[in-house]
Structure 1
Amino acid sequence: MTSLASGSVSIPQRRRSGLGFRDRRRFFLIALAVPAVAYIVLIALYPLVQGIWYSFFDYRLLKNGGRMTFIGLDNYVQLFTDNTGRRAIINTFVFTIGAVFFEFVLGLGLALLLWRDGRFNRICLAFLLIPVTITPLVVGLIFRALLAVDYGYIGYYLAEWGITSPRGLFAGTATALPTLIFIDIWEWTPLVALILLAGLKSLPGDILEAALADGATSWQRFKLVILPLLLPTVFLALVLRMMDAFRVFDSIFVTTGGGPADATTSLMVYGVKQGLQFFNIGYASAISNVTILCIGLMAAAFTLMIRRADVKANEQ
């Protein structure tokens, strides 16, 4: 009664944990990151390390009972000294540079044309993105059917009118690789245009209006204002397409299979043939490692180019 009268009622306090809010938050974020890190380690990092390890061995499943023999850098030397290996490297670089260059030029032109908001532009953009929704494997099958000399809607007439050889575009050593580059351009130019269009729509309008008020021409606005501000988006588009084009496989596999006479053999096609057709795991691992290294070097080169252009634009 005394305690009630005085108003001091003892209320049991909650038991506090030994961890503070920051510690609990840190452990919660770590718990969220653990599955993603485990996935990366098991799916990406472990096969990468294993591929690097296999590349230093003569590891053939159909030879010597699948035993591994250490040979050092012989697999890498073989890739650069073998005629097919050198041809695969050259074809991959030609395909990547040609496809990415035209995709960027055409994509930038389409993005500039679709920059203004309007019903017609939105409808055109919707139809423009249809090729991106089709997988490269299906695109290769479609163009193989279209360009077939016997029954293709395009290939038959090209051969009939004497524009191509009687065997078709895919059968000629001089026309097979450019045809595959055209197929890649047809499919992925809309994606580049979409990325660049998003960058254009995010540009500050006051700067463009100020340049227009100062009397700058359309070319001057594009060269001095739009393009420097668009460099981060340009870098993103170029790197994404470069990484994807350098490891091209699907469209080549279903159209030419690397032929004729290795005219369209890329590093990925060559690596798959060595690994899954001849079961030469060590050599296929070396080809994969060279592919990853080339992609990294090209991405670094793009980064340096964009940074230098950005610094030069800021100095102006």
Structure 2
Amino acid sequence: MSYADRRRLFLVFMAVPALSYVVAVGVWPIAKGIWFSLYDYSLLRPARNHFVGLGNYADVLTDPVTRRAFFNTVVFTVSAVAAELALGFAVALALWRDDRFNRICLALILIPVTITPLVVGLIFRALLMPDYGLVGYYLAEYGLSGPHGLFAYGPSALATLIFIDIWEWTPLVALILLAGLKALPGDILEAARADGATAIQRLRLVVIPLMAPTIVLAMMLRMIDAFRIFDSIYVTTGGGPGDATNSLMLHAVKQGLEFFNIGLASAIANVTLLGIAVMATVCIFLFRQADRRAHGT
């Protein structure tokens, strides 16, 4: 064998473990999920499944509970990500100057990111309980929440879950945007300052256009994560009251692990995956457009 053939064969053998891992962990479960979604498959009667084609997907589109879960997921994603981008950008601007105080503040505000969403949900559930919660008791006592707490009423429950997500993930967005701010070319900012541009003008005409790729990147990462929200909802409201805080991922888990309807659960999971893929595609397109404008190409 020639050197080029040996080198090619060596690279193939090196890639086999990684490719096997991707197939076993990523491709195979997705393929099985697509296969299950085409069948009326229930764990209560596993031997009596039959092919229904797109019947499960039709049920997803016509089921009012699924439509409500999709609406809740969209509202949660848009509201949480918009607030996190705005607050994260404000925090990044406040910490832009590189000094000891800002470095200490940055280390402290990153503490919520180190806590898993499941634990964050349990912490806020304990804090907001109207009977004994450190915060919820006083909210109910002074009439700032209902007598049964914030999680007992639909609008306040969803708003509280959005607040929990903002509290946990705004520091991560701020860290991403702060890295983008520190990577900005200093000569352009100095030139704008020398030309007499005010701080607001530099922010609007220089900083934000150059930061557009980083902003889109942070938005894409958070939208993908927020759209598949499950942990904090599961341990706080369980999707209630009623279906007021039900999400697509929580609805899929309920269908699969509580009602054992694997076919419908797989269809809901695939719809969620499709929504994430569409959002990622749009964000990648926006990222490339913003990157071209930022670099003048």
* Normalised TM-score (structure 2): 0.96
Say if 2:217 and 2:287, in contact at 8 Å, map to a contact too.
no
Partner of residue 109, structure 1: 90
Amino acid at match of 1:247: R
Q: State the alpha-carbon separation in 2 of the partners of residues 26 and 170 from structure 1.
A: 59
Partner of residue 30, structure 2: 48
Where 2:152 maps in the other structure, the secondary structure is: coil
Amino acid at match of 1:26: R
Structure 1: 5+ residue runs without aligned partners?
Answer: 1-17
Q: State the alpha-carbon separation in 2 of the partners of residues 39 and 227 from structure 1.
A: 40
Q: State the alpha-carbon separation in 2 of the partners of residues 150 and 199 from structure 1.
A: 45
CA shift at 1:153, angstroms?
0.5
Partner of residue 151, structure 1: 132
Q: State the alpha-carbon separation in 2 of the partners of residues 174 and 230 from structure 1.
A: 34
Q: State the alpha-carbon separation in 2 of the partners of residues 220 and 299 from structure 1.
A: 31
Q: Deviations over 1:91-147 (max 9, x none)?
A: 000000011000010001100110110000000001000000000000000000000
Partner of residue 275, structure 1: 256
- Identity among equivalent positions (%) equals 63
Partner of residue 66, structure 2: 85
Q: State the alpha-carbon separation in 2 of the partners of residues 29 and 208 from structure 1.
A: 45
Partner of residue 13, structure 1: none
Say if 2:237 and 2:245, in contact at 8 Å, map to a contact too.
yes
Q: Does 1:208 align with 2:165?
A: no
Q: State the alpha-carbon separation in 2 of the partners of residues 240 and 254 from structure 1.
A: 23
What does 1:165-204 align with in structure 2 at a 5 Å threshold? 165-204=146-185
Amino acid at match of 2:141: E
Q: State the alpha-carbon separation in 2 of the partners of residues 163 and 257 from structure 1.
A: 23
Where 1:170 maps in the other structure, the secondary structure is: helix
How many equivalent pairs are there? 297
What does 1:214-229 align with in structure 2 at a 5 Å threshold? 214-229=195-210
Amino acid at match of 2:211: L
Structure 2: 5+ residue runs without aligned partners?
Answer: none
Q: State the alpha-carbon separation in 1 of the partners of residues 150 and 86 from structure 2.
A: 25
Q: Does 1:75 align with 2:49?
A: no
Amino acid at match of 1:52: I
Q: Does 1:38 align with 2:7?
A: no
Say if 1:228 and 1:310, in contact at 8 Å, map to a contact too.
no
Amino acid at match of 1:42: A
Partner of residue 19, structure 1: 2
Q: State the alpha-carbon separation in 2 of the partners of residues 127 and 314 from structure 1.
A: 34
Partner of residue 117, structure 2: 136
CA shift at 1:311, angstroms?
5.2
Say if 1:177 and 1:263, in contact at 8 Å, map to a contact too.
yes
Q: State the alpha-carbon separation in 2 of the partners of residues 43 and 310 from structure 1.
A: 32
Q: Rg bigger for which structure? A: 1
Amino acid at match of 1:19: S
Partner of residue 57, structure 1: 39
Q: Which moved more, 1:178-187 or 1:29-38?
A: 29-38
Q: Deviations over 1:56-99 (max 9, x none)?
A: 11001113x44221111111111121111100000000000011
Where 1:284 maps in the other structure, the secondary structure is: helix
Amino acid at match of 1:220: Q
Q: Deviations over 1:214-270 (max 9, x none)?
A: 112212212222122212211221111111100010000000000001101000000
Partner of residue 6, structure 1: none
Q: Does 1:126 align with 2:92?
A: no
Partner of residue 15, structure 1: none
Amino acid at match of 1:292: L
Partner of residue 226, structure 2: 245
Q: State the alpha-carbon separation in 1 of the partners of residues 267 and 188 from structure 2.
A: 50
* Normalised TM-score (structure 1): 0.90
Q: Which moved more, 1:209-218 or 1:186-195?
A: 209-218
Q: Which moved more, 1:231-240 or 1:150-159?
A: 231-240
Partner of residue 9, structure 1: none
Say if 2:212 and 2:294, in contact at 8 Å, map to a contact too.
no
Say if 2:255 and 2:265, in contact at 8 Å, map to a contact too.
yes
Q: State the alpha-carbon separation in 1 of the partners of residues 15 and 183 from structure 2.
A: 31
